[in-house]
Amino acid sequence: MNRLIKFLILVLLFGSTSRNINAQDYNDIVIDNDIQLIHLKDSVYIHETWHYLRNFGRFPSNGLIVIKNGQALMIDTPMDNDKTERLTKYIQDSMSVDLKKLIIGHFHDDCMGGLEYLQGIGVESVANSMTIEKCIELELPIPSKSFTDSLTFDFNGKQIECRYLGAGHSFDNIIVWIASEKILFGGCLIKSIQSKGLGNLTDAVVNDWDTTIEKVMQKYPGIGIVVPGHGHYGNTELLTHTIKLIEKENCK
C-alpha cells in the first residue's frame, strides 16, 4: 500500500483527533514489524513498539529517542529485552548513534522491560527514587541513578527535565520535559485522545491523578507536543481528555 493511501486512511479513521499528520511523517522509520521511529521535530523521535498479551492482544507502547552530536538519550524502553536490543542496534548501526542514557518513567515493563539489556551494554539509567525502591522490592533490575522530586541535566546542549508531580497511573510516575522542543513526555500518566478509559488501574492512584495532571499544566504552560505512554501523540488536549476520563472513572 503506498504512502498516500495510508495517509488518506489515517485521515478517515482518526480525523482531527489523531496525531497531526504532516510532512514530518515522511521521515518516520519502520525498523521491523514491531518497531518504528516517529519523527517529532529536530532530532527527537517517538519509539513505538508493538507487543502481545494473551488476554489483551496486540498493542503499542511509546518512548522517546533524543539524538544529539552522535549520542542518544532513551526515555522508557520497549517492554522486553529483545525489542530493546533490536531498537538499540538499529540506532547504533543504521543511524551511527551511541545510546548513552535511559530515563525510566515508572516501574512497569513498558518503561523498563529492556533495562537488563541496556545495563549489560553500559547504558546509564535514571529513575525516581520511589521507582528504585519498588525495583528492589520486586527484585527487578535496579536503575543506576536516582532523584527525588526533579532532575535537570544537559544532554549535549538540550536541557532535559525529569519531574515527579504526584501519583496517577502509578505511585511513582514521572514526566519528562524537553524545553527547547516544547515536548512533554507524559508516559502512562497521560492518555491518548483515542482512549475510552484509564486502562490498567492495578497500581493506579485514581484519587490523586487529576490533581497531578493539573500540576503538570500549571508547571508547563508552553507545552507544544504531548506524548502519552500508548497511542497517538497530540497537544494539551490530551491532558484535559485524561482529566475527563478520571472524572468518568470516579463517577462509577
Catalytic residues: 106, 108, 110, 169, 188, 191, 200, 230
- Residue type present at position 233: Y
Q: Which helix (H) or strand (E) holds 159?
A: strand 158-163
Write the DSSP assignment of 198-231 as a string of letters.
Answer: ----TT--HHHHHHHHHHHHHH-TT--EEEESSS
How far is Cα 213 from Cα 127, in angstroms, rounded to an integer? 20
Residue 245 CB contacts under 8 Å (≥ 6 apart), including other chains: 191, 195, 196, 197, 198
SS3 140: coil
CA dist., res. 87 & res. 82, Å (int): 9
What is the CA 48 to chain-centroid distance, rounded? 9
* Side-chain half-sphere exposure of 57, counting CA atoms within 13 A: 1
Q: Is 178 left (phi over 0), alpha (psi -120 to 50) or beta?
A: beta
Residue 5, H or E segment: helix 3-14
